[in-house]
Amino acid sequence: VPVFLFVAAPYIRRYVAGGRCKSTARLEGKVVIITGANTGIGKETARDLARRGKVIIACRDIAKGEAAASEIRAETGNQQIIVKKLDLADTKSIREFAEKFLAEEKELHILINNAGVMLCPYSKTADGFEMHLGVNHLGHFLLTFLLLERLKQSAPARIVNVSSLAHHGGRIRFHDLHGEKSYNRGLAYCHSKLANVLFTRELARRLQGKFQRQAEFTANALHPGSVSSELVRHSFVMTWLWKIFSFFLKTPCEGAQTSIYCAVAEELDSVTGQYFSDCQPAYVSPRGRDVETAKKLWSVSCELLGIQWD
């Protein structure tokens, strides 16, 4: 068995690594925002896109963000790596980030909604939203809403939402969105990742027909794979398992490939409302394809955030 494992190891690793983004597209003169790009797959996405154009790292921990930016600047030679404060668990912070960005930047071509929380003990955001729903869905929903006009003005533009295979285990519990009646942190994560898929598909549906060419504006979601990252930090058991089975997990660089692919691949110029994994189309759960649920979630999200988005 040890000999077999030794021989098979490179093939296993290649399989685990999954697809790679082969696009060499340049982003000169273009602006990219990546949320949560101070660590994990967000940081690796920023590292790749920094070789192509201007990247704004939007994160809660400015010190970690600056450390990541400094490393990326040194490695790529691109000085246009900017760090901005953004706490997705606080709508005031999201609005302040958007206001400053819109005042300073005249264009936005790619928005990658990457940041996320996973397996949090029950807690609420500054606005009283359950943490997974608040950060993973509502925070990015509001951020996208606030930046949408700038994206439209800068078209062709892309929105990339990092979801997960976990969306298959999710459901939108409109009767208990904030988990006050019953709460399971694993399921709460699944619910929020389903919300990412539904949001992406509804956004794409609403944008269709609004442009002369569909290639001018696209929105897609993705599953990055099972990645060795800090995302499981709230669970001792998952942290332990992640260490034991790290050989069978993607590295953050491997996990970032589908995000990069959705952001730059030329063949996706006119592809919108889709879900990808390993740089190719992937299966969406029946709940993720439910148009009525998507419409209702959109409406409820607007209500919770106090916005009108028609």
Residues annotated as catalytic (active site), given as ranges: 189
Write the CA distances from 53 to 3, 16, 28, 170, 198, integer angstroms. 45, 29, 5, 36, 30
The DSSP element (H or E) to which 34 belongs, if any, is strand 27-35
Strand order in the sheet with 81-85: 81-85, 53-59, 27-35, 110-113, 157-162, 217-223, 275-277, 280-281
Q: Which two tokens stand for residue 223?
A: 């599953």
Q: Hey, which residues does 171 pair with through a beta bridge?
A: none
| Distance separating alpha carbons of residues 15 and 250, to the nearest angstrom | 10
Asked if 172 and 234 touch (Cβ cutoff 8 Å), the reply is no
